[in-house]
């Protein structure tokens, strides 16, 4: 699912207003036949993002899928209703049981009032040994309509008691229950997901976050970007804020500290310059010109924030200096630090832009715009200077280019995941076409050489989140997980060697 960008959220509004929106994909591609598609959710209410992790402790990954819910029209404005978050648990055998049988368990219901739940982060927030869910949320256009409904919440996993406190609370159920029905209700309540608020009623919408010990005190914090959209016809009035929420290690967080008024919705916290402290890298969408011909204008496509101060007196904006990684790729979706990407022990950087050069798409003449692509970003001896940029894939199957739909508001590509898809021991990429209305995988055919393919049976899977790569049924083969807002489905592509 895309970032809450101006063009892309307009597409969500149009999707709500036009029930019979086009599902047309691009030209036919040289699909490889070695994947089996399994649809695990049909007619879901606006699938958005999917995360993968072992939440129940059975050594197999579960899927945590968010749904934006319904959009209702009030005049010309599209207003979202509260969304939901669902855990999918594999109901097959623990090893080699396949991926076609799943039971569901709701974590966030519409009655919880979470607007546009986006990318979930699975982490042990309270230190009790299991994975909880940190849920950023918010509708980008709320500020322009006078609403403040952005939020970050975390949902405590109480499926199995892991602490003395949880065991004692569960042990009180037989003492306080006079009937079997009351006992069952008490046990269910104690094992249900428990909501904790980090920030609510915020004018900012939150799309993604990093849960990391950012200030070096041994307790994990949150680094994220809040975004606000105002007038849809004005490309210069959007507000962006890079934020830091200090954590206490037990699930509580201090109010946000603003670190910068730039960045993008999916920041990456890492030591960019190798000096031993944590910096932030980010792709930028807002303020980036789609026109790449002529002198560069607007903001850079990719940037990083160098930590130049100490966290001993608290983390503030004065501790960071922004450097441009690259210009000329147009509005961009994400940046990734890919560990050992070529198999030589060296981490490399991959950037993903979010553009549209399709004839008929509103905007500047298409020959002036940046082409949608996935890029290899290579820093030089001094990463403060601009980095070298080149398309990652050296070959693209016929018809497998990132060709977005001409429908207004569409752009490509989108969510990207890294892993060994084809089982040959190296790292490949799973990529959502997003506005391209189909799914891709980029195969590493030899060290540092990549070929781009379309996943079979993925036409129409537009505005797709996920792009997760994992062995979901422990059969030794990789599975790719995508959830598509455009067709209200979630599905799995299993590699079959």
Nearest 5 degrees, angle CA 479-CA 485-CA 489? 50
| Segment 217-274, tens digit of pLDDT | 999 999 999 999 888 767 678 899 999 999 999 999 999 999 999 999 999 999 999 9
What does the alpha-carbon distance between residue 462 and residue 341 come to, in Å, rounded to a whole number? Answer: 27
User: Edge to edge, what strands does the sheet with 464-470 contain?
Assistant: 35-42, 489-495, 479-484, 464-470
| pLDDT tens per residue, range 3-49 | 334 433 343 433 333 333 333 333 333 444 499 999 999 988 999 99
Spatial CA neighbour of 464 closest among 454, 475, 449: 454
pLDDT tens for each residue of 85-119: 999 999 999 888 999 999 999 999 999 999 999 99
pLDDT, average across residues 337-364: 96
Position 9 scores a pLDDT of 39
Note the Cα 128 to chain centre separation in Å. 25
For residue 6, is it within any domain?
A: no
- Output the six-digit token pair for 484: 């598509």
Residue 312's pLDDT is 86
The reported pLDDT for the residue numbered 188 is 62
Cα 49 to Cα 46: distance, rounded to the nearest angstrom: 10
Which pLDDT score, from 0 to 100, does residue 480 have?
98
CA dist., res. 175 & res. 151, Å (int): 37
Residue 20 belongs to some domain of the structure = no
- Whether residue 169 is contained in a domain is answered as no
Neighbours of 388 (CB within 10 A): 11
Give me the chain's average pLDDT, please.
90
Range of the domain at 104: 35-158+194-495
Length of the chain: 497
Structure tokens belonging to residue 88: 């999918």
Judged against a pLDDT cut of 60, whether residue 451 lies above it is answered with: yes
Model confidence over 306-334: pLDDT tens digits?
999 998 889 999 999 999 999 999 999 99
The answer as to whether 442 is a domain residue is: yes
Q: What is the pLDDT of residues 432-442, one digit of tens each?
A: 999 999 999 99
Residue 13 lies in a domain: no
Query: At 10, is the secondary structure helix, strand, or coil?
Result: helix
User: Strand pairing of 449-454 and 395-396?
Assistant: parallel
pLDDT tens-place string over residues 146-161: 999 999 999 999 987 6
Q: How many domains does the chain have?
A: 1
Q: What is the pTM of this model?
A: 0.89
Residue 71 has pLDDT above 90, yes or no: no
- pLDDT at residue 162, rounded to an integer: 61
d(CA 161, CA 81): 33
b or e along 239-250 (b: 16 or more beta carbons within 10 Å of the residue's beta carbon)?
ebbbbbbbbeee
List all residues 6 or more positions away from 378 whose beta carbon is below 8 Å from its beta carbon.
Answer: 348, 349, 387, 388, 389, 390
CATH number, domain with residue 339:
2.130.10.10
- What local confidence, expressed as pLDDT, does residue 455 receive? 97
Residue corresponding to tokens 């990429």: 429
187 in a structural domain: no
Residue 185 lies in a domain: no
Q: What is the pLDDT of residues 269-303, one digit of tens each?
A: 999 999 999 999 999 999 999 999 888 788 999 99
Nearest Cα residue to 117 out of 43, 194, 51: 51
Contacts of 473 (CB under 8 A, 6+ apart): 60, 90, 92, 93, 95, 96, 97, 98, 99, 479
Q: Are 207 and 150 in contact (CB under 8 A)?
A: no
Chain position carrying tokens 């970003």:
377
Residue 163 located in a structural domain: no
Instruction: Evaluate if residue 187 carries a pLDDT over 70.
Output: no
């Amino acid at each position: 699912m895309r970032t809450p960008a101006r063009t892309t959220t307009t597409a969500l509004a149009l999707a709500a207003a036009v029930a019979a929106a086009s599902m047309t994909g691009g030209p036919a591609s040289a699909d490889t036949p070695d994947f089996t598609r399994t649809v695990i959710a049909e007619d879901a209410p606006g699938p958005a993002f999917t995360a993968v992790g072992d939440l129940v402790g059975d050594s197999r990954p579960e899927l945590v899928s968010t749904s934006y819910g319904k959009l209702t029209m009030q005049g010309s404005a599209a207003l979202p209703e509260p969304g939901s978050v669902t855990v999918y648990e594999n109901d097959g055998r623990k090893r080699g049981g396949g991926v076609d049988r799943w039971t569901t368990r709701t974590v966030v219901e519409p009655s919880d009032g979470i607007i546009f739940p986006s990318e979930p982060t699975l982490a042990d927030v309270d230190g009790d040994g299991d994975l909880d869910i940190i849920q950023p949320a918010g509708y980008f256009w709320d500020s322009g309509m006078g609403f403040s409904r952005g939020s970050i919440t975390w949902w405590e996993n109480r499926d199995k008691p892991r602490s003395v406190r949880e065991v004692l609370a569960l042990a009180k159920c037989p003492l306080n229950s006079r009937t079997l029905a009351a006992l069952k209700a008490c046990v269910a309540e104690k094992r249900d997901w428990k909501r904790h608020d980090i920030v609510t009623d915020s004018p900012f919408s939150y799309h993604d976050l990093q849960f990391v010990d950012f200030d070096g005190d041994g307790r994990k914090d949150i680094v994220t970007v809040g975004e606000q959209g105002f007038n849809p016809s004005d490309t210069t009035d959007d507000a962006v804020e890079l934020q830091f929420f200090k954590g206490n290690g037990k699930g509580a967080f201090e109010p946000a500290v603003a670190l910068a008024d730039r960045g993008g919705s999916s920041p990456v916290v890492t030591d960019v310059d190798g000096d031993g402290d944590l910096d932030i890298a980010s792709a930028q969408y807002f303020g980036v010109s789609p026109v790449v011909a002529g002198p560069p204008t607007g903001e850079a496509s990719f940037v990083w924030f160098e930590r130049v101060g100490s966290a001993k007196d608290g983390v503030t904006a004065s501790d960071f200096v922004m450097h441009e990684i690259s210009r000329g790729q147009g509005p961009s979706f994400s940046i990734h630090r890919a560990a050992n990407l070529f198999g030589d022990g060296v981490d490399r950087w991959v950037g993903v832009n979010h553009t549209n050069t399709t004839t008929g798409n509103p905007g500047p003449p298409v020959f002036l715009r940046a082409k949608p692509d996935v890029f290899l970003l290579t820093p030089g001896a001094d990463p403060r200077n601009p980095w070298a940029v080149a398309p990652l894939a050296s070959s693209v199957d016929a018809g497998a280019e990132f060709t977005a739909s001409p429908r207004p508001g569409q752009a490509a590509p989108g969510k990207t995941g890294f892993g060994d898809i084809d089982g040959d021991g190296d790292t490949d990429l799973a990529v959502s076409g997003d506005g391209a209305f189909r799914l891709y995988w980029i195969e590493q055919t030899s060290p540092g050489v990549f070929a781009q393919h379309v996943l079979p049976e993925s036409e129409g899977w537009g505005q797709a989140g996920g792009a997760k790569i994992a062995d979901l049924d422990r059969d030794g083969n990789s599975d790719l997980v995508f959830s598509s807002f455009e067709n209200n489905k979630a599905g799995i592509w299993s590699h079959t060697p």
